[in-house]
């Protein structure tokens, strides 16, 4: 008998790489290409380092209050964590404890099956349609819980509120988690459904639309009962998940709504322009409502384009996985960054197509 027999073995999630190169174009992890709100920078410069001696507020009260005010819910309906990955992992641990499998799409955020394996939660995937839509009827089978992102990742496809509600309504006996990491780029949030469904948990993040991936701030909104159970688990795990700087800088980001709206509008405008230009280059993709495109080319394999881009210090995301091995997930950067990407692709494809 070896001690290794008692190790909890897992195959970890693989995050997109974080290269540190001076002139690279980083379009691989769906970060915001613009800085956080100006008030965040100001507050960061004035940070009181003496406050770091003390433990932070374990309830992240100011941030919870700021979010409650912004989303017009009670503070007791909000739970904050260290990025939405932390919130999601806590939610998996808290709510998915059935013998029945939890359900999620076959092409989706690749952390879900990792958490399910980590916590030994049985799961079953439901195939998206050919054009990457969820089939709501798939979620009308016995299950121990449901989770899906809306818009979905890595496809960018948004499901309408009727589909989302149909899935929640069919699953009143389990918790349904809607991961809205990318909802601020033109999607319609499930927030209005909270009044009707106490089994709905909506998860969002500051990492994309609020330009604060480095601060690790995520949150979820649900019924007071759901949030109460989540807090019980969190406080049985680690009371002080969120550090002090994240808490105060997060509040500042929520307060500057004008900047938030301006930034997301700019990203949406760039996305729509890039869609047109990518189509002209022979790419096709589902109609993304997120801050990325999920593109394949009609002549050149995705993996090849991925490698060529990488050599040019343009980073996008590629997975060699069933159904998606001919797709590149390309984050929407600044107009200037996207112009460089498009210029590279235009040149690369013209050489490639000539050779072929
Ligand atoms: N959900 C989805 C669908 C995502 O793509 C991501 C980003 N990797 C996350 C959640 C987690 O983001 P974060 O932990 O930075 O909030």
pLDDT digits (tens, 9 = 90+) for 316-355: 999 999 999 999 999 999 999 999 999 999 999 998 766 6
Q: Is the pLDDT of residue 77 over 90?
A: yes
Our mutation pick for probing the ligand 1 site, out of 28, 157, 207, counting the most ligand atoms within 8 A of Cβ, is 207
pLDDT score at 304: 97
Question: How close is the Cα of 56 to the center of ligand 1, in Å?
Answer: 24
- Across residues 244-256, what is the average pLDDT? 97
pLDDT digits (tens, 9 = 90+) for 136-176: 999 999 999 999 999 999 999 999 999 999 999 999 999 99
Determine contact, residues 145/96, Cβ cutoff 8 Å: yes
Q: Does the CA dihedral 47-50-51-52 come out positive or negative?
A: positive
Rounded to an integer, the average pLDDT of 98-107 is 98
Which of 6-20, 100-114, 143-157, 251-265 is predicted with the least confidence, judged by mean pLDDT? 6-20
* Residue 170 confidence (pLDDT): 98
pLDDT per position as a tens digit, 281-306: 999 999 999 999 999 999 999 999 99
For ligand 1, atom 6, the nearest C-alpha belongs to: 181
Question: pLDDT at residue 125 above 80?
Answer: yes
**Position 101 pLDDT exceeds 80:** yes
Give residue 85 CA to ligand 1 midpoint distance, Å. 6
pLDDT level of residue 9 (50, 70, 90 thresholds): very high
Could you tell me where the beta strands, DSSP code E, fall in the chain?
Answer: 25-26, 78-81, 102-105, 123-126, 145-149, 176-179, 200-205, 218-221, 283-284, 292-297, 314-315, 317-318, 328-331
CB distance 276 to 84 below 8 Å: no
Q: How many Å lie between the centroid of ligand 1 and the Cα of residue 180?
A: 9
The residues, any chain, with a CB within 8 Å of residue 278's CB and separated by 6 or more, are 285, 293, 295, 342, 345
**pLDDT mean over 203-230:** 98
Q: How far is the CA of 11 from the centre of ligand 1 (A)?
A: 18
Q: Which atom of ligand 1 is nearest to the CA of 16?
A: 8
Segment 192-208 mean pLDDT: 98
Q: 84, 149, 182: which to mutate for ligand 1, most atoms within 8 A of CB?
A: 84
Go through the domains of the chain in sequence order and give each one's CATH number: 16-34+258-351 (3.90.1150.10), 38-255 (3.40.640.10)
Helices 257-280, 244-255: crossing angle, 10 deg rounding: 80
DSSP state of 51: G
The rounded percent of the chain whose pLDDT value lies above 70 is: 99
Question: Residue 48 Cα, ligand 1 centroid: separation in angstroms?
Answer: 30
Burial of 152 (0-12, 13-18, 19+ CB in 10 A): buried
Q: What is the overall mean pLDDT for the chain?
A: 97
Question: Ligand 1, residues 27, 205, 209, 292: which to mutate, most atoms within 8 A of Cβ?
Answer: 205
pLDDT at position 352, please?
A: 76
At 356, is the pLDDT very low, low, confident or very high (cuts 50, 70, 90)? low
Q: Annotate 227-242 with b (16+ C-beta within 10 A) or e (fewer).
A: bebbbeebeeeeeebb
Lowest-pLDDT range, 12-16, 165-169, 204-208? 12-16
CA of 181 relative to ligand 1 center, distance in Å: 6
Atom number in ligand 1 closest to CA 15: 8
Distance 172 CA to ligand 1 centre (A): 26
Question: Atom 12 in ligand 1: which residue has the minimum CA distance?
Answer: 84
Cis peptide before 162 (omega within 30 of 0): no
For residue 30, the ligand 1 atom closest to its alpha carbon is 7
Q: For ligand 1, pick from 13, 109, 202, 291 the residue to mutate: most ligand atoms within 8 Å of CB.
A: 109
Write down the pLDDT at residue 44: 97
Q: Residue with the nearest Cα to atom 2 of ligand 1?
A: 181
Report residues whose beta carbon is within 6 angstroms of any ligand 1 atom.
83-85, 109, 149, 153, 179, 181, 205, 207, 213, 218
């Amino acid at each position: 008998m070896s001690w290794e027999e008692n190790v909890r073995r897992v195959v970890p999630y693989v995050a997109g790489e974080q290269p540190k190169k001076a002139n690279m174009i980083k379009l691989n992890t769906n970060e915001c290409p613009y800085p956080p709100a100006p008030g965040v920078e100001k507050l960061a410069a004035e940070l009181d380092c003496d406050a770091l001696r003390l433990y932070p507020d374990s309830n992240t009260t100011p941030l919870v209050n700021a979010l409650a005010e912004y989303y017009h819910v009670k503070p007791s309906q909000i739970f904050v964590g260290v990025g939405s990955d932390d919130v999601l992992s806590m939610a998996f641990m808290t709510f998915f404890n059935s013998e029945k499998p939890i359900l999620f799409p076959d092409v989706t955020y690749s952390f879900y099956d990792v958490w399910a394996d980590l916590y030994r939660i049985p799961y079953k995937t439901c195939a998206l349609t050919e054009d990457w839509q969820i089939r709501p009827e798939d979620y009308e089978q016995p299950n121990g819980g449901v989770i899906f992102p809306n818009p979905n990742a890595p496809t960018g496809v948004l499901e309408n509120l009727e589909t989302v509600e149909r899935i929640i309504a069919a699953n009143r006996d389990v918790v349904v988690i809607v991961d809205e990491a990318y909802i601020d780029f033109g999607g319609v949030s499930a927030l209005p459904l909270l009044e009707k469904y106490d089994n709905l948990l909506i998860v969002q993040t500051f990492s994309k639309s609020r330009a604060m991936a480095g601060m690790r701030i995520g949150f979820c909104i649900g019924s007071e009962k759901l949030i109460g159970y989540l807090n019980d688990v969190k406080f049985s795990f680690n009371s002080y998940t969120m550090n002090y700087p994240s808490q105060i800088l997060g509040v500042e980001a929520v307060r500057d709504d004008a900047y938030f709206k301006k930034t997301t509008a700019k990203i949406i405008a760039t996305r729509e322009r890039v869609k047109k230009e990518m189509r002209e280059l022979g790419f096709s993709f589902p109609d993304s409502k997120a801050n990325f495109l999920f593109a394949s080319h009609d002549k050149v394999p995705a993996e090849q384009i991925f490698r060529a881009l990488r050599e040019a210090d343009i980073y996008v995301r590629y997975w060699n996985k069933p159904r998606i091995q001919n797709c590149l997930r390309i984050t929407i950067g600044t107009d200037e960054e996207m112009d460089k990407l498009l210029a590279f692709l235009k040149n690369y494809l013209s050489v490639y197509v000539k050779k072929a």
